[in-house]
Structure 1
Amino acid sequence: MFKITPTTTFQILLSIFSVPLLIVPLQGNSQSTDLEQPILLRLKRHWSNPPSINHWTPLRPNSNSSTHCNWPEITCSNGSVTGLSLIDKNITGPIPPFICDLKNLTAIDLQYNYIPRPFPTALYNCTKLQHLDLSQNLFVGCIPGDVDRLSTHLRTFNLSGNNFTCDIPELTTLRLFLNLFYGSFPPEIGNLSRLEWLELSDNEFAPMAIPSTFTQLRKLKQLLIKGSVLSLFSNQLSGEIPESISRLPSLRYLTLSNNNLSGTLSPDLGQYSILQGFEVAQNHFTGELPEYLCANGGLIGIAAYDNNLSGELPNSLGNCSSLLIVRVNGNRLSGSISAGLWTSTNLTLLMLSDNSFTGQLPRTLAPSLLRLEISNNKFSGEISTGLSSWKHLTVFSASNNLFVGTIPQELTTLSQLTTLLLDGNLFSGHLPSDIVSWKSLTTLNLSRNQLSGSISAKLGSLPSLTVLDLSRNEFSGQIPTQIGHLKLTSLNLSSNCLTGKIPAEFEYTFFNASFLNNTGLCGSNPSLGLEICSSRFQNSSKISSRLLAIIIVIATVLLASATLLTFFLIKTCWKKEHKSVSKWELTYYHKLNLHFKESDILSNLTENNVIGSGGSGKVYRVELNCSSEIVAVKRIQNIKKLDQNVEKQFLAEVEILGTIRHSNIVKLLSCIFSETTKLLVYEYLGNHSLDSWLHGKKRQSISDSDHGVVLDWPKRLKIAVGAARGLCYMHHDCKPSVIHRDVKSSNILLDSQFNAKVADFGLAKILAKHGGPNTMSTVVGSFGYIAPEYAGTSRVNEKIDVYSFGVVLLELVTGRKANDENEDRCLADWAFQYYNQKGNHLVDALDEKIKEPHYLNVMTCVFKLGIFCTGPFPTNRPSMKEVLQILLNCSHQSGFGGGNVGSDSSDFSNDFRQGSIFEGEDGSLLSIV
């Protein structure tokens, strides 16, 4: 029996979100109702009278009731049946021969049923058939070799999602993804001269090169052979692309990214067809890019990054007005960029980094350009003044080039700019004086230049700035106190000529490398590696003997008091614990209005205050005696010295949470530790975890009676958006990025207003290189939330968090647990199979406790997003930024509000809801767009 499993590939989503089958009426001779209705009723009886078509009832004599042409599954033309659409009707019997007694039948659609047995050759007798869709059924065996006996009028033929085996016969249309074919691509496919669509993905074909006979497919428009055709993490297509493929006149999209293909690209690609998409990224191609890619004026995007391509960019790209995206980073390309490409009318993304390009930046850029990435090249000269055409630019990455001169003032007028990377150049002079327009700027890196003068205090007024690197320049003077007002996750002012005391906000170990090699700086924290300010001033100031005597007396009293206090604490702990306790150390990670001592915490760590427990310890609710404030304390304790694994968990949690500043991530206030016990002090969140609201009893009643005892849909959507914001910040704004590795509903905490905060980073992992996979020695996480590739290989990247968050979304919309002991599969598998079988009835899967008519569309959208996030291929899952965009769009559509994350939020969300995230205009994958 065919079963969709978690290893089913992203191609299933193509069928789920594809355009419904078009039923085209055929003009022909009418056939009387008296002859056709008995055939339909006989068909109903043959299939054991499925309840889904109970409304197929005989026409009563002398009745004015509607005929069978008004049944929703039937299409008629001139009073005769031309279309039969029985999608997802729970049909379990075979297709009978007498179905072709409907002589004018042009369309049969039986997808998403349970029809067994071999291919129904009886359909050969349906001589006017134009559309036949038997996908997502239980057909077995071989596709018969004489299948070309089907109607010569056949235009659509879909057999995907069945259990066909054996060799592939010769056909005029092939959509055979998601079957059990094996062996090699049959070279005979090249003899199908009328073939326009070839889709062979998601089978068990062996690693191979593309057969040279495919070049004979003169009418081929779509060639889809990437994805699970091969292995999960890297495809295995090898060898060279046959040169004659470039002469296919109907070829529009060439998508061969992420394989092991090599050799040179045919110089004729694009010369004989209106090529729109050219994707050959992440292979081993050498030589030059083809000159004629845009010869016929239809090219939308180029994705040729991460190859070994050399030479110059084709001059023809400078005259290609249709271009939206050019991604050629990570090659060995050289030469200058044509003026026409810099200013191409519709260009939105130009990524040229990691090559050897030369030349100067133009004064005018493409009016629609959003991202310009040219780092690690040999561009030179000054950045021109008068950059009015750069006004839409959001990312400007020009690190490690040969730019000279000053940073122009006009650059600070780019109000949309979020990332500015100019490090590793030869810039000199002062910083621009007026930077107030940089309201959206999050990352500013000007390190490794020759900039001088003072650091502008106006940097402290940039509301979004989180990363600031001015290291290895010649800045002088004091660090403006306004810089301390920024919520920085990364700061580097090292290797300059700065003087004076550092701002108090940076007196933490997190910033211990931020001020090195500034001989004139001092601080109060010895761990920062700076001279202590007090000792410097002692050398330059004269202190009177009387004042010195007072200081000595005060110091003596304080020392005596500290000694007595230490003795008292040791004595108290001895009475309580009946053993000596190591010295406690307390470190603050946030600037707090409340201050507390270790004793305030230790005295409240009792069983009555336990509010949770996990693998590494218990969590306590502690009311501070000094201020009546409430905090949550996580205790990690072992009588003996902490073992290595627990120590790593502790250090990971402290390292990450001590650096993060975000409203949707739980705030670590301080840590208290001794040799055998670690205490983490967090902000307290009164509404506990999302898991306790969805699947368990909440621990305390809500004072606002309007909240009720069940989370309604607006609150659930608010929680989803909040948690997505936190994870999006971790993945995209932290440098380096942060992976949680244990996202689940019990690790999403809620404050009194049901704002979500991501918690428990004991299992998190910081990537050494953004986006690069790391391999962990062990797989950790919670069953039901673990991504399949992580469980199988221990490989880690951001997409494992996306998978886990997708499960949380499914919990929110269905009310089900991620792993129900009463079920034989996890929630992600259940939702995927439910969607596959009952895609038209998703409302039935939603949580009955919150299902209201005006929420159904949004809940269904989030259900689909959960399936999208839990796809088996990590490369096909959305990023957390994209997930957040979709959720925000859902919030706006529902009138719940929620803000925005970028100018393309609505476009991406609309594309998701309309299916174009999965499928291009002609069904092709458009990963470059």
Structure 2
Amino acid sequence: MGSAVWLFLLVVSIHIYIVAAETDPDDNSSLRAVMSEWKNVPSNWGRGDPCDDKWVGIGCTGSRVTSINLPNMKLEGGLVGDIFFLSELKELDLSYNKGLRGILPPAVQNLKKLENLILVGCGFSGQIPDTIGSLPQLRILSLNSNAFSGNIPPSIGNLSTLNWLDMADNQLEGEIPVSNGSTTPGLDWLIHTKHFHFGLNKLSGPIPRKLFSSDMTLIHVLFENNMLSGPLPTTLGLVKTLEVVRFDNNSLEGDLPLNLNNLTSVQDLYLSNNKLTGPLPNLTGMSRLNTLYLSNNSFDSSDVPSWFPTLLSLTTLMMERTQLKGQIPASFFNLLQLQTVVLKQNELDGSFDIGPSFSNQLQIINLQGNSITSFNNTGGPISFDIVLVDNPVCQETGAEANDYCSLPQPDSSSVYTTPPMNCVPNSCGTGQISSPRCICAYPYTGTLQFRGLYFSNLRNETPYESLEQNLTRFFRFPELLVDTVSLSNPRMDQHQYLLLDLYLFPYGQDRFNRSGISKIASALSSQDYKPPEQYFGPYVFTGAAYEYFSDGPAHSNKSSAGIAIGAAVGASVLFILLVIAGIYAYRQRKRADRATKESNPFAHWDPKKSSGSIPQLKGARCFSFEELKKYTKNFSEANDIGSGGYGKVYRGTLPTGELVAIKRAQQGSMQGGLEFKTEIELLSRVHHKNVVSLLGFCFERGEQMLVYEYIPNGSLSDSLSGKSGIRLDWPRRLKVALGAAKGVAYLHELANPPIIHRDIKSTNILLDERLNAKVADFGLSKPMGDSEKGHVSTQVKGTMGYLDPEYYMTQQLTEKSDVYSFGVLMLEIITARRPIERGKYIVREMRMSMDKMKSLYNLQQILDPAIGFGTSSKGLERFVELAMRCVEESGTDRPTMGEVVKEIENIMQMDGMNPNAESASSSATYEDATKGADLHPYDNDSFAYSGAFPHSAAKIEPH
């Protein structure tokens, strides 16, 4: 019987181990690259396999990484491109890591399966990329509490599955984007989104009528503390699902929509501190309204509305400086939920009467600065504050003796703090706090910020007790390890947000491990936790840095009986454990060998033979020789699509059906060793739609191979020469120039570190299936380190005709060297001539021929007739001017590539083109031109990936 049990345990144990998921090689490589870029990653990162060994914060489905949840981990760094290779990623939560800075890269569009993108309370800045609208499954987009600037991307309107949209507390500016026709998206397309959170920004302009419609399901619309102007649109009254509406602290003007009373589900309505005018609308239908803020507007002077007593759920009424006049009906104070009434600085007059009965929830009625002549109380003792200061009733002799004729003194009693649970709080050591159970521990702390609130008495314990119970029930899961919850210090900030300090105490130990903090913080940042709806509206949590991580739960003492039992059980299963340990050690050794090979495929790199130190990889996939041999059908001639001085290029087909271009160095060739290493190091870390993508590489069996995306329409040189059969008219040439400029600008300004290409030329600009330009060939590229101020002193390399003369003379390489080469490229685009042709240099020929006093600057004999001169002469002239600025002799006189991009966009707009529209490869001219053409972009004369050169140009590499 015992043997049978042992055998069963052995089989089960082996089975469990075998089916444990090993991470997909590409995902593994990407995570390790991210790990090398970030500081303060969890301590178990880098040990074993991310999925199988459960790296903190990494969630997997099978072998694929599907979630990264690392909030409050004190991470430092940026969103490196490798994270965007995780194609199965569904959730990315990096909230509360102030050390995460830089931009949100456009490459975020690669995460097509992403459902949650949560970056609350980090240090990100720059513009939110328009590519954010390319995530079809996104449900939560939380970018609040960062330093993002620029406009709200209109492309967000494409996110048809979006539920939560939070961009509050940034530096966003400009107008609220709405759609224009059926092709240009806007926020009005988000009919399934429930949350618009845009408070605390710099948004301006009017609120578009089109923003709201009856099709929408919004419950929270928060645009407080911006610079919005114009009227509140009547279309707001069509969104009957709304619960919280905030447009306070803007510059809104005009009448309030009369249909606001259609919003029967609204609980919070904040419109204070605007320039609103006109009559107050009748809000009788808003039966669920808890909070009404209308202060500091210029409404028409009118009697106190008769509908005040119909607001049966009202807790807070704030209408300071709104030109109210007349008397308040006594029945109003009988509303059962009423707590706060502030009607200061109005025109109320006559007698003030609170009636025979009033709400037992009342805390204050502030009528300071009105014209009230008397006060009648027929309802017995009053336990709340009444303020009638600066009214005639308080200007009579002896009136100052009345309590209501003096300002109430601040309540010095302490606000709410969770009491201990029938115990005496401990005096704890440094950093520790006594929990409600009077146990010393290191709690996880942070601040809850409520943007909507359904009570105004901050000293009422009931809402906080309800919140405590709710939090405790939610977080008392075994995997979260929370024992007790404590709340303290409720207070209102200047934005009318309720702030509340939260303490979460660990269960069974004195501190949390990283996994526990990650799960707790993620539940709060992702809004998985919901507060009690009867008291609290939308919230945001800000987690404080946690300093006391442990590797696991604290050890507990075992009784001698437990030890004896454990020893007996241990003796019984010793044999089986030894067997399993042997199997485990064997598999671990094989896995470690495999992981070493995956993480360091250059373990056998020989610096002497391969021209350079070991490459620093950033996530490029390592292909085996056998894989590439299979994908190219044994490097068959049928798949040979180009050759050059470096070697050959083969077309390959991956198992997914994706076409790739495989650049294979000549056997034993020492030429290009540095280029091979440089392209891997640099190109694997850059990701832009106008830069050719490196998919992987192979370095084994003496082979050096690079695997790129397949670019079907060859090089720009091929099209300009007519070799590819593609006709480039003026709009297409402008589009190609813009795409190439964007690619180079990305390398200079957004790549980390910045990259100088050093070999910008027409054979290194490739055209994809829609004739979009892609910058290629990084064999000569040079990264700019932080210590390199303005230039790099380096051996001169490049292509004659494109080479910057200042760089050639001084050997000091700067970004302006690429600008010069790009200027030559621009001249090549409009002339279809090689830079050096028949001994003539294109830059010199242009300077000698140019005459700005004549049409087309007297360049008709030089410009390519295929452009068509009659239609766009103004744009051509500005294009020529820009090109000549790029080839100025002094680098300081040349524009930056970012300026080049903007100028080309201006030229396109001037010529009636949309700079953001994609090239149309299906146009009739293109189809006709390419019929029957043999489009091989990698043949001998246009070896775009190798850096080979046309007949009239040559590489210059002086010693």
TM tier, smaller: 0.3 to 0.5
Q: TM-score when scaled to structure 2? A: 0.39
Greater Rg by CA: 2
Q: TM-score when scaled to structure 1? A: 0.41
